[in-house]
């Protein structure tokens, strides 16, 4: 087909704004009705569902934590027994890591990355819908199992050989392992979409050095996912096979339990950075507009992000210092654990410099960013302490570790995320969140978090072990544990305040307008919430902050058809426009494929024959998905 | 008003893209990058599975522990078949780029056969492993490696068959279908290339270390 043919179709070229908007809305709007609900391929709709679902899992896992803290509030308490307590911390950790922390970051990216790079939809939008349904199915499976009393209870890392059939009869561990498969397939799919969106769908003119830092962070994160998640999929597959068909990967009959730890932490350490890197991207995105100046040290920050992504693969053994590794190995991993402090430190200095050289406006999003810096630095310092083998051996499996990783994950993940919600809520909903309630939320969260987790350092140093459901009164830990529980309660209340703020603001918050913070990146270029087609005319980018460069004017590209979904593909490095790509229409097939995959995954917990009867339906739904239906999108 | 209009900003037309092509090949196309993404994931999977094999080997007193190494014949026949399949696979890439419908159709039929033959040999390969998956850790990882590669083989053969059927319908004349054929051929390259280290590890590594 030649370019002449494309020019023969109706295009946006000479249409006025109102007419163009009318046509594009008809073209890009999600279908209505029940089938339409399950068919949408709009990255904003899927992204919104992803974010809300992830927060539902946050609430559920938070409730686990509340029950655990009530149990530990006083010595010799009998609110819950040891079995339920084991299930509580297992489901809490598993949900927080696999169903909240990583998915919520990808969810925000699914919503924002296409807007920030100036395109009309994510790459492979049907795969995106498929990944969401798989994620929901995996999370639902774990929680239904928990509610009917079949939950896993071996911790969020299910160490072998404890997790082998011999010591863990029942289906709890299998459900845990298969939940991994669900969420990892989903995360891998999203990562490929994000890489392709960033590499190929950037607005014309957006060369690599003009990519917003949040997008860089998500690109680096997505690459990490590609290489980290196969390790946990291999591990969980081996575990399921051990339990289902008597293989010997990790058992005591010729397998190797330490191999489980290697594979788990080869994934598990990068996993921490899958949460932290997006969070740093959010921080950079928030700091610039609130400091009223471009970010200081763009190149240094981008290189630090990439450095962190690479270095995070060289740290996994520091989770295994207590396993008796050769000394040289331990020294190497101690050194690499300290090196990553440098790349993280560079970013923190760049943020401070940005604030220093700007005129900071202390609104709620910035408060959460400042809270992040304080909490994360404390978590980073305790991290440097336990990077040293002798100290780590002492505090291993104590509350010192619990304190450390909650500082890192809440400080380095949740606080930036909450700041990001305050920051982008107006874009997603069209309304501002309440600033007054937001300040209450911040201070309750900041005080509650520190009150809950700082005393845990002391409990750990005093020798209180992790994962015990109770402790005797004469250990003298009662008062401190009560303080921790009060802190946890305040932290929980802060989330109630947050959800109340979100709900009230959704109904009656002040109207936001396109760019309430006066930010410079492309997601603020259209009305809030964005129309189904994102950009009325495709932006043409000439600088890092397109909305700050030439106020009142936005250079655009034209020549896209208005009778089928089209977007522009650009070259990887320079962002030169090279092709017009038709973007897939809504389809029910990804949802059906997700159901077929769910049946296969759950079936294979119970019988290896699921491979035989479970795969043909998947093949059928995939063929249905990819077989052309003769729509305009499929014709050249 | 939800016009998607830049915040009070007036759009100024900078470029016209209407003359750009609506499909392209290899690294210019979106699907090629998506395929590369999944190839990266699977490469990591193969790499970690091979690392697991070597981890077990390094821990064991003798390797393989209690079984003879797999018989060479079926695995070697399969390797030769896969390497030979690269010839039509390279030809079909050229035919797809030239958008030659007839040659592409013939090439796809050949590639279907070139995919089904190794699958038949693969059955004999499993039977010649000389160890069961539940014998010991060696048996487990050998079956996992071969199973992992078989999954790729089966997936791409089904994909090729569906694509072949598609190319014999009216949809076969669309430009993007030729790009699909090109990407499918690129994926087959990966299926063949990823087999070579697995073949070496399964068949030659135990013979070299013993």
User: What is the spatial distance between Cα A390 and Cα A392, in angstroms, rounded to a whole number?
Assistant: 5
Q: Please state which CATH number belongs to domain A44-361+513-519.
A: 1.20.210.10
Interface of B with A in 115-144 (CB under 8 A): 133-137, 139-141, 143-144
Q: What is the ipTM of this complex?
A: 0.93
Q: Name the pairing type of β-strands B10-16 and A553-558.
A: parallel
The reply to whether residue A196 touches residue B18, judged by beta carbons under 8 angstroms, is no
* Structural domains counted in chain B: 1
In chain B, the residue whose alpha carbon lies closest to the alpha carbon of A622 is B159
Tell if the CB–CB gap between A554 and B9 is shorter than 8 Å.
yes
Contacts of A595 (CB under 8 A, 6+ apart): A133, A137, A621
Q: Find residues 191-210 of chain B whose CB sits inside 8 Å of chain A.
A: none
Closest CB to B134: pick one of A238, A246, A634.
A246
Look at residue B3 and tell me if it is in a domain.
no
Sequence-separated (6 or more) residues with CB below 8 Å from residue A322:
A392, A393, A396, A397
CA A540 and chain centroid, separation: 29
Residue with tokens 């790509």: A581
Q: How do residues B3-49 score in pLDDT, each as one tens digit?
A: 344 445 678 889 999 999 999 998 899 999 999 999 999 999 999 99
Query: How do A577-582 and A566-570 pair as beta strands?
Result: antiparallel
Ranges of chain A with pLDDT below 50: 1-4
Name the average pLDDT for chain B. Answer: 93
Q: What residues have CB less than 8 Å from A545, skipping those under 6 apart?
A: A288, A294, A520, A521
Query: Any chain A CB within 8 A of the CB of B176?
Result: yes
Residue B99 contacts A, CB cutoff 8 Å:
no
Contact A553 B12 (CB under 8 A): yes
CA distance A579 to A567: 9
**Does B61 contact A at CB distance below 8 Å?**
no
Nearest beta carbon to residue A245 from set B23, B34, B134? B134
Report, as an integer, the average pLDDT of B162-185. 93
Report pLDDT for A631: 81
Q: Which residues contact A473 (CB under 8 A, 6 or more apart)?
A: A75, A76
Distance from CA of B16 to the nearest CA of A (A): 5
Round to whole Å and give the CA distance between A516 and A511: 9
pLDDT in tens, A200-253: 999 999 999 999 999 999 999 999 999 999 999 999 999 999 999 999 999 987
Using a CB–CB cutoff of 8 Å, tell me whether B147 touches chain A. no
Nearest Cβ partner of B14 from A191, A557, A568? A557
Domain hosting B45: range is: 26-209
pLDDT, position B8? 52
Chain B positions touching A534 (Cβ under 8 A) are 4
Average pLDDT across chain A, whole number: 94
Residue-level length of chain A: 636
B140 in Cβ contact with A234 (< 8 Å): no
Per the CB < 8 A criterion, the answer to whether A354 and A295 are in contact is yes
**What's the pLDDT at A105?**
97
DSSP labels for A42-96? -HHHHHHHHHHHHHHHHHHHHHHHHHHHHHHTSTT--SS-HHHHHHHHHHHHHII
Written as six digits, the tokens of B37 are 């993404």
- Rounded CA separation A271/A401 (Å): 17
pLDDT (0 to 100) of residue B3: 38
A589 three-class SS:
helix
Which pLDDT band holds residue B1 (cuts at 50, 70, 90)?
very low
End-to-end alpha carbon distance in chain A: 6
* Residue-wise pLDDT tens digits, A285-318: 999 999 999 999 999 999 999 999 999 988 888 8
Q: Could you give phi then psi for residue A27, rounded to 5 degrees?
A: -75, -40
Q: At residue A105, what are phi and psi to the nearest 5 degrees? A: -65, -45
Tokens representing A249 are 């990967």
In the block, tokens 């090949």 appear at B25
A residues 200..259 contacting B (CB < 8 A): 200-201, 204-205, 226-227, 229-231, 233-234, 237-238, 241-242, 245-249, 253-256, 259
In chain A, where the domains are located: 44-361+513-519
C-beta separation of A596 from B45 below 8 A: no
Q: What is the domain-level CATH number for residue B132?
A: 1.20.120.80
> What is the pLDDT, as a whole number, of residue A554?
86
CA distance B13 to B6: 13
Q: How many contacts does A have with B, using Cβ atoms within 8 A?
A: 239
> What is the CB neighbour count within 10 angstroms for residue A478?
18
B144/A241 CB distance under 8 A:
yes
At residue A120, the pLDDT reads 97
The answer to whether residue B68 is domain-embedded is yes
Whether the upstream peptide bond of residue A8 has omega within 30° of 0, thus cis, is no
Percent of chain B at pLDDT exceeding 90: 86
- Residues of chain A found within 8 Å of residue B5, distances taken between Cβ atoms: 17, 514, 526-527, 536
Confidence label for B174 from pLDDT (cuts 50, 70 and 90): confident
For A379-416, how does the pLDDT look when each residue is reduced to its tens digit (9 = 90+)?
A: 988 988 988 888 989 999 999 999 999 999 999 999 99
Token pair 């590609």 is found at: A226
């Amino acid at each position: 087909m030649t370019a002449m043919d494309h020019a023969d179709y109706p295009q946006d070229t000479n249409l006025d704004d109102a007419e163009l908007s009318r046509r594009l809305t008809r073209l890009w709007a999600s279908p209505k009705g029940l089938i339409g609900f399950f068919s949408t391929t709009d990255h904003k709709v899927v992204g919104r569902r992803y974010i809300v679902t992830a927060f539902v899992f946050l609430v559920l896992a938070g409730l686990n934590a509340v029950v655990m803290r009530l149990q530990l509030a006083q010595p010799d308490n009998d609110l819950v027994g040891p079995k339920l307590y084991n299930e509580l911390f297992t489901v809490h950790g598993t949900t927080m890591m696999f169903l909240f922390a990583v998915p919520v970051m990808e969810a925000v990216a699914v919503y924002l990355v296409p807007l920030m790079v100036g395109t009309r939809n994510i790459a492979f939008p049907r795969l995106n819908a498929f990944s969401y349904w798989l994620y929901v199915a995996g999370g639902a499976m774990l929680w239904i199992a928990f509610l009917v009393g079949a939950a896993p209870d071996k911790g969020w890392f299910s160490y072998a050989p404890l997790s082998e059939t011999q010591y863990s009869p029942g289906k709890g561990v299998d459900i845990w392992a298969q939940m991994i498969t669900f969420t990892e397939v989903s995360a891998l799919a999203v990562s490929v979409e994000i890489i392709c969106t960033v590499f190929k769908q950037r607005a014309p003119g957006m060369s690599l050095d003009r990519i917003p830092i949040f997008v860089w962070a998500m690109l680096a994160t997505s690459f990490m996912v590609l290489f980290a998640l196969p390790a946990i999929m291999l591990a969980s597959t081996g575990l399921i096979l051990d339990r289902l068909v008597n293989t010997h990967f990790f058992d005591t009959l010729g397998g190797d339990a330490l191999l489980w730890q290697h594979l788990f932490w080869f994934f598990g350490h990068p996993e921490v950075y899958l949460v932290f890197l997006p969070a740093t991207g959010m921080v950079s995105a928030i700091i610039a507009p609130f400091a009223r100046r471009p970010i200081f040290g763009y190149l240094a920050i981008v290189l630090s992000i990439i450095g962190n992504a690479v270095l995070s693969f060289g740290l996994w053994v520091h989770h295994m210092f207590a396993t008796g590794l050769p000394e040289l190995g331990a020294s190497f991993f101690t050194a690499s654990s300290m090196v990553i402090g440098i790349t993280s430190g560079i970013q923190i200095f760049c943020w401070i410099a940005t604030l220093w050289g700007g005129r900071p406006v202390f609104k709620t999003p910035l408060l959460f960013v400042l809270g992040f810096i304080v909490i994360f630095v404390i978590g980073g310092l305790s991290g440097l302490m336990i990077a040293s083998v002798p100290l780590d051996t002492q505090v291993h499996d104590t509350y010192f570790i619990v304190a450390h990783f909650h500082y890192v994950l809440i400080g380095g993940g949740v606080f930036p995320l909450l700041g990001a919600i305050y920051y982008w809520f107006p874009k997603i909903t069209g309304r501002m969140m309440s600033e007054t309630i937001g300040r209450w939320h911040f201070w309750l969260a900041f005080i509650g978090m520190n009150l809950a987790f700082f005393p845990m350092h002391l409990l750990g140093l005093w020798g209180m072990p992790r994962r015990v459901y109770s402790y005797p009164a004469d250990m003298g830990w009662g008062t401190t544990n009560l303080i921790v529980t009060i802190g946890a309660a305040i932290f929980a209340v802060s989330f109630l305040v947050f959800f109340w703020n979100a709900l009230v603001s959704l109904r009656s918050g002040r109207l936001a307008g396109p760019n309430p913070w006066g930010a410079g990146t492309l997601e603020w270029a259209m009305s809030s919430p964005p129309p189904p087609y994102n950009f009325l005319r495709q932006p043409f980018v000439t600088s890092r902050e397109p909305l700050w460069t030439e106020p009142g004017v936005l250079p655009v590209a034209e020549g896209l058809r208005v009778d089928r979904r089209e977007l522009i593909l650009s070259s990887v490095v320079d962002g030169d426009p090279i092709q017009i790509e038709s973007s897939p229409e809504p389809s029910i097939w990804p949802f059906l494929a997700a159901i077929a995959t769910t049946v296969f995954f759950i079936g294979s917990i119970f019988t290896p024959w699921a491979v035989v009867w479970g795969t043909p339906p998947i093949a059928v739904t995939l063929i249905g998905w990819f077989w052309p239906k003769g729509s305009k999108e499929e014709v050249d | 008003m939800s016009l998607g209009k830049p915040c009070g900003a007036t759009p100024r037309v900078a470029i016209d893209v209407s003359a750009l092509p609506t499909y392209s090949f290899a690294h210019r196309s979106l699907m090629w990058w998506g395929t590369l993404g999944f190839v990266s994931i699977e490469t990591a999977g193969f790499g970690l599975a091979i690392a697991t094999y070597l981890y077990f080997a390094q821990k064991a007193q003798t390797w393989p522990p209690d079984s003879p190494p797999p018989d060479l014949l079926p695995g070697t026949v399969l390797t030769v078949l896969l390497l030979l399949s690269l010839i039509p696979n390279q030809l079909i890439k050229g035919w797809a780029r030239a958008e030659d419908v007839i040659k592409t159709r013939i090439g796809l039929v050949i590639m279907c056969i070139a995919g089904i033959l190794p699958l038949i040999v693969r059955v004999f390969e499993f039977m010649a492993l000389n160890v069961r998956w539940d014998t010991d850790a060696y048996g487990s990882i050998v079956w996992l490696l071969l199973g992992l590669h078989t999954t790729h083989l089966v997936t791409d053969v089904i994909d090729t068959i569906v694509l072949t059927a598609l190319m014999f319908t009216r949809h076969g004349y669309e430009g993007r279908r030729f790009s699909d054929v090109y990407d499918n051929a690129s994926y087959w390259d990966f299926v063949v290339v990823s087999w070579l280290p697995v073949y070496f590890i399964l068949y030659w590594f135990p013979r070299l270390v013993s």
